[in-house]
């Protein structure tokens, strides 16, 4: 999973994470701020699980939500390409 996309959409992602890991506070989620290793560490701490178990939980969450984030990445790329096309048109008209 592309964590750059997750980081860029962090406000939306926080809700999905709260569904899975309800013990994580908003302050903790704000500190995590899209960093996968921070998420694993906070899960480990909050739930008192081993790092391997926290990693497994995050991997399972990624697999369940991969389609959602692939769609967002596709839209981001499409918008970026459209912006570049618009810039080329403006530049060629000058």
DSSP assignments along 33-93, one per residue: TT-HHHHHHHHHHHHT--HHHHHHHHHHHHHHHHHHHHHHHHHHHHHHHHHHHHHHHHHHH
pLDDT higher for 12 or 2?
12
Q: Tell me, what's the pLDDT at 90?
A: 52
pLDDT band at 35, cuts 50/70/90?
A: very high
Q: What is the CATH number of the domain that holds 82?
A: 1.10.1470.10
Q: Can you read off the two tokens belonging to residue 10?
A: 């962090």
pLDDT digit string (tens) for 47-94?
999 999 999 999 999 998 887 777 666 766 777 776 665 555 555 555
Structural domain of 28: 3-93
Q: Tell me, what's the pLDDT at 31?
A: 93
The count of domains in the chain is 1
pLDDT higher for 30 or 81?
30
């Amino acid at each position: 999973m592309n964590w750059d996309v997750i980081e860029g959409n962090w406000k939306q992602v926080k809700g999905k994470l709260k569904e899975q890991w309800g013990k994580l506070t908003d302050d903790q989620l704000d500190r995590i701020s899209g960093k996968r290793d921070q998420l694993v560490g906070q899960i480990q701490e909050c739930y008192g699980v081993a790092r391997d178990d926290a990693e497994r939980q995050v991997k399972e969450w990624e697999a369940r939500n991969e389609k959602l984030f692939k769609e967002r990445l596709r839209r981001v790329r499409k918008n970026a390409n459209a912006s570049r096309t618009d810039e080329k048109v403006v530049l060629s008209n000058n």
